[in-house]
Amino acid sequence: MFLSWVGKCELLHAPPEAHVLKGFNESCQRGICSMVIGFLGAGDEADVLATPTHVKWSMEALGHSFALGMEDADVIAGATRIYEKWLGLHGDGRPKCMLGQEQEFIRDLLGHMSLIFEDRDATRGKPELLAKHISLCEKVLDLYSLLGRKRAATLTPTTWDHFLRLLLGITDCVLHGTKHSLASALCGQLIRVTLEQFTISLQFTGVKGDLWNMLLKFCRRWLHRKTVIEQWNVISYALTEQLMARIAADASATTTATSHVIAIPWSDRTPTQLELESALLAYAWYRIMRVIGHPSLFADPDVYLVAISGIRRLANVLTYVAPATSDEKQPQLPDVNTVLRILGPWLFDASLNRTGLPRFALCRAEAVRCLGDLLSQHGGGRTKQVTWPFTIRALMAIQKALLDDDDVLVASAVASCSRIFGTHGTHTLRGVGVLAGSFHHAIDRIFRLSATKSPSVRKESASGASSPRKRLSVGDEGGGVSAIGGVPITLLRRACIEACSSLLTIHSHLPISITKQVEKTLTGHVDGLPLVYSSLPRYQSSNVVTLLIGCLKSEVDSTNQQMAMWLLTIAVQKEALFWSMGLASTRNSQVPMTITSICSFLTKIPSRWKPACVFTALECLRYLTIVSEHLYKHVFSSCVYLISCVCEFMASNAQALRTMRSPPPYVDQLIASAMGCLLEWIVTTPQLLSKTQIMVKIIATVVDCADYRKDFVPLVPHADDATRQSAHEVLEYLVKHHANTATDARHSVLDDDEHAQSRYFVWNHGTLVGLLEGDDGSLSVSLRDASGHYAWRVKAQYRYTPLGAPAPSPPVARPTRTSSFYTYHHDAEIDMDGDAAPTDPLLQALRQNAPQLTNWSSSSSATLDAAEGNVAARDVETFVQLLQAQREAEEMILAQHAGDASGPEPLEAPRPTTSSNDARRLLSQLGFISIGSWGSFFPLTNTDGLLRDLRALDRLPTRETYEIGIAYTVNGPSANGFDSIATLDQTSTPSPAYAAFVATMGWTVDVRAYGGFLGHSPRETGQALVYAQYNYEVAFYTPTLAAHRPLLANAEVLIVWNECQQKYTPGSALWASAYGLPHPRASVYIIIDPLDEGLFCVRISVAGSVFESDRNDAGALDDDTFAGRVLGPLQDGMVISGEWLGPLVRQTALNAVHVHRLQQRHQHSLGLSTQSPIRPQDKRTKLIAGVVRDHVAPVLPGEFYSSLFPRK
């Protein structure tokens, strides 16, 4: 006796003697069932049911009660309780006579309870009766589930077969059509119990292919119900997750026994716990994955969307990479081809076969999103050349979505495929360049669409527009659309910017041959495909710049703004490179508009932007100094505008600091960054100083900011004197830092003999002055302070000549300009006796403007006095007149006695007895030994200890020092399913692309001859890669040049040249086990993946660094310049050409270290950290203070001045 539908489906055959009470009238049925159940429910069945025959007789009444109407729900509930006890689910309450024939009785009990699922017409339209019916059915399903979970081991294969067939019949009876009244309420539980029991049975009955085929056959009749697919998603996800974990555990080297327990976390019930061996688990996963049949069977778009969403979750499981927890080796993941073989039919059916059905648009969008994630992320990191059929289908699906009229499809394609150009090449996805035009077309549409649908922006009041505390509120007043197709507008625009980063290069490096081959295949498969590559406009990099400028004008998200500014900075650098090579014209150039767009963050109410965004704008303007020479030559007005914007920004914020009682701390940081940007432009482009207006603007800004920075302390109360004092300080800064050649640091200190003849002084307790007169009449002057060591060699301007003889001609050459002792561009030694090159633009600018700007006395007239550049000009003029009068008198005497042999002979000038006259004269001219300078200039005791301290001081770096590692990784032979990646050393021959990259990163020097910063590199033998500028030095640890493999642990940023098929993410278990590289101190990895056509994909990992933050965290501190910072110029996933790869990677690495150190110092200042990087200037200042403390010679004024003259 069981459900009639089971017999109709020919799943089971009912015996003819069953269901005896079916022919009785309704009242008789109800009476018999009620009396039997009432008696047996009282607990007296032990004495009555003595034989199996007695039990079978009573079961006729008990079983028939499940066929009664819902008016007798209490009777049915009583029968359910009796059957629950007889099934042995809660204690052993079974009659003893049942134990001998237990399996037969269990089959009968299960069949009797199936009668409850018969649809009853009397309950239709009666909610109370329907609710009772649903409750009783749920109770029976719970008993079915408990039987399989608790007593599975006691059931025989025959009972399992009967049970599973019965479940198929019950489920099909309720779900196969649309008329059953219980279908909506019981659908989820029916599918759960059916799939659960089929999976449990494998452990006890083995593989039963006929039953699984029946399940596949019947399941196709239930696909019109969304709940069926939801439950299938749950169990398929759980089995896939367990299968991947079992594969990883079986391949692991550990000897720990692997647990076979599987948990299925059902959404409506407690998780199901079952045990399956690995082989049975794989079979269950295979069967469950195919139980719903081919995706073409789905006709309901809502159901199909649920299925595609589940497929996407499965793709995430198959490509999931666990985080690194140990150095234990991890097995390889399935590659893209393997995943597409499993899930491809679903993805390609949804994205290609349903393009003409608008109601399936969301399904297409979900499939394209899954396909894009799978390809762009390289299937979890294990790349492999995608087979040609999969390549063609994927490109067709993505291109169709990009060019579709549905906004949802376009948004999904752009959001998921923004980094797909990183798969360009023969090793991954061939012909991806065919999407370049389609992407550009879609991005333009997205920017226009999101600009009209973006959330409203609250306008600031006029009174608070300039307050640094005011912040822009986005979307807080409603009225705006925050997402398109489930993708937030902010993330969608960010994806567009990411795609633009690659389009800047892809448009000019498009592989035409492979693109035409792909296009021919695409149009062959799809007739009338609109807007293929050949019919789209020929986009260029300038079109991408136009998109970014337009995006920057309407963007409100800080992260997106910073990304766009970095990309515009790269575009300007590329354009300037083309100018220098003659490959581009300045006509219709977008460089001025680009600079104006970045400067708008400084001029257009800077308080409306977040501090991190303004900081990035200043950094972008500072990085433009790399091509400042070309910008000055071609777009001079933009350079002037840039300087003006920075000056106005500094002046306005300095005013805010004066007027506000408690100004935000980030304002000081921003002004310091602006000062660095301004000085960088002055140093790299000194031609700007030739314009008086620019010089005046700079000096006025420096003075305006000096009131609170205390960098330039005014010595006089007059404003004009303070201005000229500030100008003097700026010029001094330029003179000290603008140098191209220098001497070796190790030879900057004199030897023992020269040291014994030198005299040393300390000036203002912070500057060490050294003087040495040479035998040739030259004078060597050295200055050591916190900023560096500077040396001059000069000759006396006035020489002793016979009295009355004509004055010698003045020296033609000026003294050589100062220089630091580090080599900036080459290892050439400075020619101390040669003349300075008169073509130095800095010296030309200083000579033109220094007299007017450094004179401390103001002129009463509008025109400058001829002697205004010298404070003692009039005294010198009087002295010169006296000398000229004396010379004229002597010449007159010589003329009178020209013919007289007894006339007077010219007298020879006295010769000095010691060599201190020239040194004393120089000190006097510099003003060091004047009476007014007493107390700030003291002599030092010349001892061996002083020499040791000076040598120790010269060994200290004078600039910021950075340590960056470069690792070269290649594939090794894999073994037992594990990746093997090797890091090459100096014994290996690198590829030409890598050699070209290293050549553009810096200079290869001999460590024995190089005197600059080498970090931890040994100086005994070998080569090293270095780079330096006027304000920093970089030591690269390059294992391909020297034995630097152990030194990679000291690197602050690690650059990985990755010539591997693996594209794992740093911080993952696969990365740690396969690469085995140390973690950089700044937690920043820059990974370079070579592509075809001279292109490279740059992946940047900032996990754990200062750049890692929650971009959508509304509670982030707006007053922190380090919250929400974006690393640049390169962006994660960006495709770049080889010409700019080295410089841009170096800029990105240096920027990462720079911000990392700033953040450490900021936290140290707030008391949040006990460690802070010490600046080189601080180290030198501390050592100079020790030299002054240990070697200063306390003398009286008389003793000091008398020591300057020779003893007689």
Higher pLDDT, 1057 or 1168: 1057
Q: What token pair was written down for 329?
A: 């080796």
Query: What is the predicted pLDDT for the residue at 1087?
Result: 94
Query: Which secondary-structure segment (H or E) carries 1201?
Result: helix 1197-1203
Q: Out of 91-95, 366-370, 474-478, 917-921, pick the least confident.
A: 474-478
- Tokens 């007077």 correspond to 904
Which of 104-108, 671-675, 710-714 shows the highest mean pLDDT?
104-108
Q: What φ, ψ does residue 335 adopt, rounded to 5°?
A: -80, 180
Residue 816 has pLDDT above 70, yes or no: no
Quote the pLDDT of residue 61: 84
The pTM score is 0.80
Confidence of residue 231 (pLDDT cuts 50, 70, 90): very high
Average pLDDT on 506-524 reads: 66
**How many Å apart are CA 500 and CA 547, to the nearest integer?**
8
Chain centre distance of CA 292: 41
Average pLDDT rounded to a whole number, residues 802-808: 51
Residues of the chain with pLDDT > 70: what percent? Answer: 76
> Tokens 């007739």 correspond to what residue?
527
In tens, the pLDDT along 934-960 reads 778 888 888 888 888 998 888 888 888
Contact 874, 1169 (CB under 8 A): no
User: Directed axis angle between helix 388-402 and helix 407-416, to 10°?
Assistant: 130
Question: How large is the greatest C-alpha to C-alpha distance in the chain, in angstroms?
Answer: 172
pLDDT at 884 over 80: no
Rg (alpha carbons) of the chain, rounded to whole number: 43
Average of per-residue pLDDT values in the chain = 78
Work out whether the CA dihedral 439, 441, 444, 445 comes out positive or negative: negative
- Contacts of residue 228, defined as CB under 8 A and 6 or more positions apart, other chains included, come to 175, 187, 191, 219, 222, 292, 303
Does pLDDT of 749 surpass 60?
A: no
pLDDT at residue 469, as a whole number: 33
SS3 at position 804 = coil
Residue 339 structure tokens: 């995943």
The sign of the CA dihedral 832, 837, 838, 842 is negative
DSSP 1126: -
Report CA-CA distances (Å) from 256 to 119, 249, 324, 1038. 52, 9, 19, 40
Under 8 Å between Cβ of 1043 and 1036: no
- Position 871, amino acid: V
Q: What is the per-residue pLDDT for 1005?
A: 92
Tracing tokens 């294969």 back to the chain, one arrives at 157
> What residues have CB less than 8 Å from 1066, skipping those under 6 apart?
1085, 1087, 1101, 1103
Q: How much is the pLDDT for 252?
A: 64
Q: Residue range 1041-1060: average pLDDT? A: 91
> Which contacts qualify for 894-897: CB closer than 8 Å, 24 or more apart?
894/804
Order of all β-strands in the sheet with 778-785: 788-795, 778-785, 767-773, 759-763, 937-939
**Burial profile 783-805: b = 16 or more Cβ within 10 angstroms, e = fewer:** bbbbbbbbbbbbeeeeeeeeebe
1161 Cβ contact partners less than 8 Å away, ≥ 6 residues apart? 1172, 1173
Q: Alpha helices of 406-540 — where are they, by DSSP H? A: 407-416, 436-453, 489-506, 512-525
The span from the CA of 1126 to the CA of 558, in Å, is 9
pLDDT single digits (tens) 139-185: 999 999 999 988 888 999 999 999 999 999 999 999 988 888 888 99
User: Cα separation of 892 and 54, whole Å?
Assistant: 161
Task: Return the number of other C-beta atoms located less than 10 Å from residue 227's C-beta.
Answer: 22
Torsion sign (Cα): 471, 472, 478, 483: negative
Half-sphere exposure of 234 (CA within 13 A, CB side): 22
Q: Strand, helix or coil at 813?
A: coil
Residues 246, 240: Cα–Cα separation, whole Å = 10
**What gap in Å lies between CA 273 and CA 270, rounded to an integer?**
9
Parallel, antiparallel, or unpaired for β 778-785 and 767-773? antiparallel
Q: What are residue 1141's phi and psi, to 5 degrees?
A: -60, -55
Q: Which of 108-112, 168-172, 734-738 has the lowest mean pLDDT?
A: 734-738
Contact 671, 616 (CB under 8 A): no
CA distance 204 to 202: 6
**What pLDDT score does 996 carry?**
93
Q: How far is CA 452 from the centre of its chain?
A: 29
The predicted-structure confidence for 766-780, as pLDDT tens digits, reads as follows 888 888 887 777 788
d(CA 447, CA 437): 16
CA 318 to chain centre: 25
Beta-carbon contacts of 992 under 8 Å, excluding residues fewer than 6 positions away, are none
Taken as a whole, the chain contains a residue count of 1208
Q: Is 272 within 8 Å of 149 (Cβ atoms)? A: yes
Residue range 826-867, pLDDT digits in tens: 333 334 344 444 444 545 554 555 444 444 433 344 443 444
**Lowest pLDDT segment from 201-205, 300-304, 508-512, 727-731:** 727-731
What is the 3 state secondary structure string of 317-340? Answer: HHCCCCECCCCCCCECCCCHHHHH
Distance of CA 1164 to the CA centre of its chain: 24
Write the pLDDT tens digit of every residue in 1121-1160: 677 889 989 999 999 988 889 999 999 999 999 999 888 8
C-alpha 1110: how far from chain center: 12
Dist. CA 365–CA 356, nearest whole Å: 14
What string of DSSP letters covers 711-763? SS--SSS-HHHHHHHHHHHHHHHHHHH--S----GGGSS--HHHHHH-EEEEE
Report helix, strand or coil for 1107.
coil
Three-class HEC string of 880-897: HHHHHHHHHHHHHHHHHC
For 611, half-sphere exposure in the C-beta direction (CA atoms, 13 angstrom radius) is: 22
What is the pLDDT confidence band of residue 928, given thresholds at 50, 70 and 90? confident
Element of type H or E holding 1033: strand 1032-1037
CA distance 875 to 880: 9
Q: Which of 960, 952, 950 shows the shortest CA–CA distance to 1174?
A: 960
> In 3-state terms, what secondary structure has residue 909?
coil
Nearest CA to 385 out of 435, 436, 340 is that of 340
Amino acid identity for residue 119 in this structure: D
Q: Can you say whether residue 911 is alpha, beta or left, with left for phi > 0 and alpha for psi between -120 and 50 degrees?
A: beta
- Phi, psi dihedrals of residue 473, rounded to the nearest 5°: -100, 125
- For residue 46, pLDDT over 70 is answered with no
Flag the least confident range among 455-469, 831-845, 1110-1124: 455-469
Euclidean distance between CA atoms 55 and 421, whole angstroms: 74
